[in-house]
A and B are shown apart, each in its own frame.
Chain A
Amino acid sequence: MKKLTAVFMLLGLATPVFAGTPSFTIEIKNHLFYPDVLTVPANKKVKLIIINRDESSEEFESYELNREKIITGGRKGIVFIGPLAPGEYPYFGEFHPKTALGKIIAQ
């Protein structure tokens, strides 16, 4: 999607939000999220880099964040969230919903 990013910028159809966008990394190991609690700045767009260290796929899902993203085994996925009002936003791994739990704290 990086090439498309450049095309869209050239066409003036989109304003990039990632210039200066804070970036955070979440890892998936043994069907758990690390860190499981992540604090991010409120009222600002944030880029999450989610690295799946497991062999099997996991899905980062959160109704509160309005995001749903599959990260297949051994790969990484990018999820943009926010700007978020101050508060807590839970998320979970849809393939392991009882153990793969986490939350984003915007403050």
Chain B
Amino acid sequence: MKAKLFALFNSSLILLSYSVTTLADGNSIDKVYHPYVVETEVEVEWRTLFQNDNDDTLDDQQVHRLGVGYGVTESLFAEFYLIGGRSPSDDFDIEAVEIELLWQLTEQGEYDYDWGLLFELEREIDNQVWEFSTGLLIEKEWGHWVGAANLLVEYEWGNDIEDEIETAASFQLRYRYNAAFEPAVEFYQSEKTTGIGPVAMGNIRLGIAQKLHWEFGAIFGLKSETPNQTIKASLEYEF
């Protein structure tokens, strides 16, 4: 335990020293969460999005998230993120911080569907803008196929933004081909986002109780407010 907490502290320092800017506002393409927690597991995560579009306001924007999380109990996982990015008009800068809690409600396989809850609280660093998101995480397994759905409600408020409530949904259909490679399709839907595309992911075992989880995908916008392509990638070191 002491070794893990020391590693967690070190990782936090690395994150705080990382420099990143500009969030791609309105694009809800990100990650499909799964309603499971591994107790005492530490996770160091880097997640990124690259947007391409013919519209200059959507084109060539990047979002980066660096997170450190810990399985606090057998049903609660907590993660802290630094969020930043860059756009053609702005250099890299850290723009926001976020705290996330994932609450596993049911044991995997206990019911017809597996259930969890997600809570996220985000605060922009240079602006008086807060965002709170919460919602259901649902998963179902059919042999080698696994379906996941995230249904979220987001509330934004602050002095530098007009208060608003939005909803966002994301879905993933994944084929468990082998541990190192699992192909999937993801679909995202929100006020400004409708997108679908192929994603692949897998786990690489690095040693005793150490894994590297990778994901890579391309989500294609289906309406004008959504970037034509959003390239998504993530690496998670779990130990």
Contacts and interface: CB of A to CB of B under 8 A. Distances in A.
A6 to B, nearest CB: 12
B141 A94 contact: no
Interface residues of B, number: 26
B39 interface: yes
B83 to A, nearest CB: 28
A13 B109 contact: no
A17 B105 contact: no
B39 A14 contact: no
Contacts of B106: 1, 4-5, 8, 14
Given A17-B111, A17-B112, A63-B179, A94 B209 contact: yes
Interface in A78-107: 78-82, 85, 94-97
Contact of B110 (A17, A57, A69): A17
A79 B141 CA distance: 15
B115 A14 contact: yes
A18 interface: yes
A45 B141 CA distance: 13
B14 interface: no
Contact of B209 (A4, A59, A66): A59
A78 B38 contact: no
Given A57-B40, A70-B38, 6 more contacts: A8-B105, A16-B111, A66-B146, A70-B74, A81-B109, A85-B143
Interface of A: 1, 4-5, 8, 13-18, 45, 57, 59, 63, 66-70, 72, 77-82, 85, 94-97
Closest 6 CB pairs of A and B: A80-B109, A14-B111, A70-B39, A63-B179, A94-B209, A80-B110
